[in-house]
Chain A
Amino acid sequence: MIRIISIFLTFCLAGSLSAQETAPAGFDVFNDKLDDALIGLKMVRSDLSLRDDYIEKDTYRLKLIDSLMNAPLEMINLSQNLLDGDVPGYADHLGVNFEQLAFPDRNPEPHVKKYFKPKKVDKLTLHRIDFFLSRIEQITELEIFDEQNAGLLDSLAYGFMLMFEEDVEDEFRTAEQRDSIQQYEEEWADVLKDIAGSVNLESIGLAGQAFLDVFSDFIINDEFDIQLKSDYVEFKTAFGKVCVGDTSAQHYSGDLFIVIDYGGDDIYDIHKAVTGNFTFILDYGGNDTYNLPKARINPYSFGANVLVDFNGDDLYNASSWGLGAGLLGTGILWDKKGNDKYFGDTFTMGAGCFGYGLLRDDGGDDFYNAALRSQGFGSVKGVGVLIDSLGNDHYFAGGKYRDIFHFKGHNMSLSQGFATGIRPYMSGGAGYLIDKSGNDTYESDVFGQGCSYWWSLGVLADGGGNDKYLSYLYAQGSATHMSLGCLYDRSGDDFYLAHGVSQGCGHDYAAGILYNASGNDDYVGYDLSQGAGSANGIGIIADLEGIDSYLVKKADNTQGYGNPRRDYGSIGIFLDIGGAKDSYAGGPGTDSTWWSGSKWGIGIDE
């Protein structure tokens, strides 16, 4: 069975998530010790499996989620592949093949003329404009945009906005008021469940995959042929303004459709209303400021936006639905160089639902600041990816919307490699936060950092550097309610801090894994952490090398603990393999020994 699942995963993730030929470093040792731990629990490898049908399946379930539920350990390989493979795409997750368009090897002028009369624009720039025009036709001609669906699409845009937005006033409302709001939202969720399946919503995100060509296209990426003497020109089209700027500082404002800018410290003020919009920006240099549309309804639903900034220290300001967000569409933001700052609110910085959102930053020390459902967030039939390759980066998610259900004074994050469905109506998607190197800091509050909820997959994969992971609850390889969460850290001396339901914790038929492949690491938790299974969930923490320290407050539900629920057990496994002189305080763990204080949990330090 496991072999079949592995074959499926290899097929399913081929391409963007290309299967890695070699297993993660130390994976064989991990496997050996895991088998020992299972023997100690009177279990076998097949017991480390969850089902895909604890509740009736809906039509929105990703096959990847089902496969990983059956074989949750495969999350470790998947995380490795996220670090070493190409950018994960959307089509892979839907299990369909997507053939990229060939570059339009044609004279661009006749095609561009369908949209505007391109006077004073050089041919290279026209090619670049044609790149986007050739691809939006793939979207605008989709069957889903048949006139009879207009009302339906409006409902979908409104309904999903309602599912994701929060209100800072909620904490001050009475129980009756909140109940009324909840009922309204539930009614909408019920409606969305039915209408989302009545049209081929995925087709928009799939068509948007053609924009991923920006990463490889020669003409788009040819920075040596910048048109230094090009004058500023502007054209009006049915989709908005087309602007071509020279190397001086520009202020682009209004209903921007396509902007090709060849340098200078520019300011972009983008205004878009209603839905079905497109914005494409290629900015080849300068320290730029981007002010994205601030609208309650995502203006790029049933559309797309692609922003590529080639150089400079840039500032990105968005509210919700921007900075690589694909809510009912596609959003791609690629920043190639510079120390950048990203600010957003909800559903931003690599977020996808019925679509694909990607924020890719290739270099520099960057700062990412969002409130909610951001920084690698996936929901229903959606994939959200934030991938940062170089630099010492700081990720912050939270600080705005109170978590009124758990602990006073804490805020919801639902970010940083987090995914969720819409319980109990629709299964969720996949959210990935991938940081390949640098000494990074991750801050979230409630729900974050390789975490998931309701038939979803959330992964935070960090390649190298001495990192700090700070969170409060449901974090750092944590999964709740039939879902999958993984925090994978390949190397560096890292520091982990979380209060509970964290650091390799699975709650309610869910699997949470924290896998640290090397380095001298420090882990601090309060309770239900560090290899804790709860309510028939699976929680695993594995640290493969280094001299590590582990501190917990509660000894009776941490470091290899599984509690009984539904009259049988959860599974909690703690593995510290390699590296002598590990330190333990507060919990059952001890250096160079085994322990098993609870019937369903075990710890090994060797």
Chain B
Amino acid sequence: MSRSYYNKHACLLRNFVFYLFAGLISVLFMPSIANAQHNSGNAQIVDSLFILASSGDTKDRDFVEPSKQAIIEMGAAAIPQMLTKLETHDAREMHAIVDIFKGIGETAVESLTTRIYSQDSFIRRLAIRCLGEIKSEKAVGALAAIKDHDDFRTRSKVMTALGMIGSPDGSYTVMQGLSDPDDLVATAAAVACGKIKAGIKPNVLVKALSHPYYGVRHSAANSLAELGEIAVNPLLDYVQSQPTILGLGYVVQAMGRVDSPDVVPTLTLMLTSIDWSIRANSAEALGNFKSQKTVNTLKQALKNEKHPLVIYKIKLSLDKLQTD
């Protein structure tokens, strides 16, 4: 028996077992769930499925997703028992819980919201994380209400969740979060600004480009790019304000992704900077503006360039422009 023959049949057998398992879940569990939603047996079913849904063992891998899906299909009936699992400290279980609540969706928002006030930090933070994944605007008010929580990790989760929900109602809260004394909260807030977009003022993000922590600087630059056209003038103004080389690097990063031709002259000018890092960043940024003129500019720069990173970035951009 050839090896490929064996592998093919092993695969078929594996698929058969997989579908048999999924079928059994549907046939055996679903009718009883439909008939008796509040049956105490639901808790046992959820527990049993959750063991497989959160298993990290290599031999259980094929059962993880079907088990999650089975709990999700239970919907509201699964929520009470799933809420008891929020207290876990196990990363793999947390991941499964998030996936399941995300799948259950809006039905779980009210129950989860009650848990964001928990004294148990694990329950609190995991409930916030789940609300973010569900992306329901109903949760925004409750999340904003705990934005000043003593625990910076909770504040950070709130910012992340508000960003994921993406509602303009969260814009004021995340802009405030940019001034949070904790770097991780400010980073999460900077990311959230780019996801919410509506109602976000570009200048608060421009200010964050010189933040001491790279996570904030990078995220602010990316979020400015997400804001699009309205970010262009604040960015150009910032260039005029003689920022630090570091800050300027992030402005260039944002300009490169802002999708406005208005920034191209400034980027072209920066390609002649005496600072190699600015030239490298500009070369990379120009790679996002497809035109023959940009190609010519980069080719010309390549002729005179000596710094290896700038040369690398120019070539990368030229490849991109000539391939797209």
Residues of chain B within 8 A (CB-CB) of A594 are 307-309, 312
Q: Is the CB of B214 within 8 A of A43?
A: yes
A594–B307 CA distance with the chains assembled, in angstroms? 9
Partner of B215 from A55, A56, A408, A568 at Cβ < 8 Å? A568
Partner of A176 from B51, B188, B215, B308 at Cβ < 8 Å? B51
Q: Is the CB of A46 within 8 A of B212?
A: yes
Q: Which of A159-202 contact B (CB under 8 A)?
A: 175-176, 178-179, 186
Residues of chain B within 8 A (CB-CB) of A350 are none
Q: Is the CB of A42 within 8 A of B214?
A: yes
Q: Which of A523-580 contact B (CB under 8 A)?
A: 536, 566-569
Q: Which candidate, A211-219, A312-320, A399-407, is the interface stretch facing chain B?
A: A399-407
Q: Which of A14-58 contact B (CB under 8 A)?
A: 39-40, 42-44, 46-47, 51, 54-56
A407–B280 CA distance with the chains assembled, in angstroms? 41
Q: Which of B251-268 contact A (CB under 8 A)?
A: 253
A596 part of interface (Cβ distance < 8 Å) = yes
Q: Is the CB of A39 within 8 A of B89?
A: no
A595 part of interface (Cβ distance < 8 Å) = yes
Residues of chain B within 8 A (CB-CB) of A596 are 280, 309, 312-313
Q: Which residue of A lies closest to B308 (CB)?
A: A594
B55 part of interface (Cβ distance < 8 Å) = yes
Q: Mark B155-186, 1 if CB is under 8 A from A, else 0.
A: 00000100100000000000000000000100
A424 part of interface (Cβ distance < 8 Å) = yes
Q: Is the CB of A47 within 8 A of B214?
A: yes
Residues of chain B within 8 A (CB-CB) of A569 are 214-215, 218
B57 part of interface (Cβ distance < 8 Å) = yes
B35 part of interface (Cβ distance < 8 Å) = no
A425 part of interface (Cβ distance < 8 Å) = yes
A-B pairs with the 6 shortest C-beta distances?
A567-B191, A594-B308, A594-B309, A42-B249, A47-B214, A424-B89
19 further A-B contacts with Cβ under 8 Å, apart from A186-B90, A405-B58, A596-B309, are: A42-B218, A42-B246, A42-B250, A51-B184, A54-B153, A55-B153, A175-B52, A175-B57, A175-B63, A186-B89, A404-B58, A423-B89, A424-B90, A536-B215, A568-B187, A568-B191, A568-B214, A593-B308, A595-B312
Residues of chain A within 8 A (CB-CB) of B52 are 175
Q: Which residue of B lies closest to A409 (CB)?
A: B58
Q: What are 16 A-B residue pairs whose CB atoms fall within 8 Å in the complex?
A: A40-B277, A42-B250, A42-B253, A42-B281, A54-B184, A55-B153, A56-B121, A405-B56, A567-B160, A567-B187, A568-B214, A568-B219, A569-B214, A594-B308, A595-B309, A596-B309
Q: Which residue of A lies closest to B195 (CB)?
A: A567
Question: With A43-B214, A47-B213, A594-B309 in contact, is A566–B56 under 8 Å at CB?
Answer: no
A592–B312 CA distance with the chains assembled, in angstroms? 12
A47–B246 CA distance with the chains assembled, in angstroms? 12
A566–B129 CA distance with the chains assembled, in angstroms? 12
Residues of chain A within 8 A (CB-CB) of B51 are 175-176, 179
Q: Assign chain B's interface to a size class.
A: 35 or more
Q: Is the CB of B215 within 8 A of A405?
A: no
Residues of chain B within 8 A (CB-CB) of A408 are 58
B60 part of interface (Cβ distance < 8 Å) = yes
Q: Which residue of B lies closest to A567 (CB)?
A: B191
Residues of chain B within 8 A (CB-CB) of A407 are 58
A397 to chain B, nearest CB (A): 21
A59–B215 CA distance with the chains assembled, in angstroms? 29
B124 part of interface (Cβ distance < 8 Å) = no
Residues of chain A within 8 A (CB-CB) of B48 are 176
Q: Which of A46-101 contact B (CB under 8 A)?
A: 46-47, 51, 54-56
B59 part of interface (Cβ distance < 8 Å) = yes
Q: Which residue of A lies closest to B92 (CB)?
A: A405
Q: Mark B182-217, 1 if CB is under 8 A from A, else 0.
A: 001001100100000000000000000000111101
A424–B313 CA distance with the chains assembled, in angstroms? 42
Q: Is the CB of A406 within 8 A of B89?
A: no
Q: Which residue of A lies closest to B48 (CB)?
A: A176
A175–B49 CA distance with the chains assembled, in angstroms? 11
Residues of chain A within 8 A (CB-CB) of B56 are 405
Q: Which residue of A lies closest to B89 (CB)?
A: A424
Q: Which of A415-449 contact B (CB under 8 A)?
A: 423-425
A595–B188 CA distance with the chains assembled, in angstroms? 29
Partner of A40 from B63, B214, B215, B309 at Cβ < 8 Å? B309
A39–B277 CA distance with the chains assembled, in angstroms? 7
B197 to chain A, nearest CB (A): 14
B273 to chain A, nearest CB (A): 13
Q: Is the CB of B57 within 8 A of A425?
A: no
A424–B92 CA distance with the chains assembled, in angstroms? 12
B135 to chain A, nearest CB (A): 15
Question: With A40-B280, A568-B187 in contact, is A404–B217 under 8 Å at CB?
Answer: no
A592–B246 CA distance with the chains assembled, in angstroms? 26
Residues of chain B within 8 A (CB-CB) of A44 are 214, 246
Q: Which residue of B lies closest to A46 (CB)?
A: B212
Q: Mark B102-142, 1 if CB is under 8 A from A, else 0.
A: 00000000000000000001000000000000000000000
Interface centre among B153, B214, B308 (most CB of A within 10 A): B214
Residues of chain A within 8 A (CB-CB) of B55 are 175, 178-179
Residues of chain A within 8 A (CB-CB) of B316 are 597
Question: With A42-B250, A425-B89, A567-B191 in contact, is A405–B57 under 8 Å at CB?
Answer: yes
Residues of chain B within 8 A (CB-CB) of A566 are 160, 187-188, 191
B206 to chain A, nearest CB (A): 15
B24 to chain A, nearest CB (A): 15
B26 to chain A, nearest CB (A): 20
Q: Is the CB of B217 within 8 A of A42?
A: yes
Q: Is the CB of A404 within 8 A of B309?
A: no
Residues of chain A within 8 A (CB-CB) of B250 are 42
Q: Which of B55-93 contact A (CB under 8 A)?
A: 55-60, 63, 89-91
Q: Is the CB of A178 within 8 A of B57?
A: yes
A597–B287 CA distance with the chains assembled, in angstroms? 13
B295 to chain A, nearest CB (A): 21
A404–B48 CA distance with the chains assembled, in angstroms? 20
Residues of chain A within 8 A (CB-CB) of B188 are 566-567
B252 to chain A, nearest CB (A): 9
A597–B153 CA distance with the chains assembled, in angstroms? 32
Residues of chain A within 8 A (CB-CB) of B281 are 42
Q: Which residue of A lies closest to B151 (CB)?
A: A56
Residues of chain B within 8 A (CB-CB) of A423 are 89, 91
Q: Which residue of A lies closest to B187 (CB)?
A: A568
A376 to chain B, nearest CB (A): 26
Q: Mark B24-59, 1 if CB is under 8 A from A, else 0.
A: 000000000000000000000000100110011111
Q: Which of B225-260 contact A (CB under 8 A)?
A: 246, 249-250, 253
Partner of B58 from A406, A593, A595, A597 at Cβ < 8 Å? A406
A56–B89 CA distance with the chains assembled, in angstroms? 12
Q: Which residue of B lies closest to A39 (CB)?
A: B277
A520 to chain B, nearest CB (A): 23
Q: Which of A121-137 contact B (CB under 8 A)?
A: none
A604–B60 CA distance with the chains assembled, in angstroms? 42
Q: Which residue of B lies closest to A593 (CB)?
A: B308
Q: Mark B271-282, 1 if CB is under 8 A from A, else 0.
A: 000000100110
A51–B60 CA distance with the chains assembled, in angstroms? 35
B154 to chain A, nearest CB (A): 11
A47–B249 CA distance with the chains assembled, in angstroms? 15
Residues of chain A within 8 A (CB-CB) of B191 are 566-568
A602–B277 CA distance with the chains assembled, in angstroms? 13
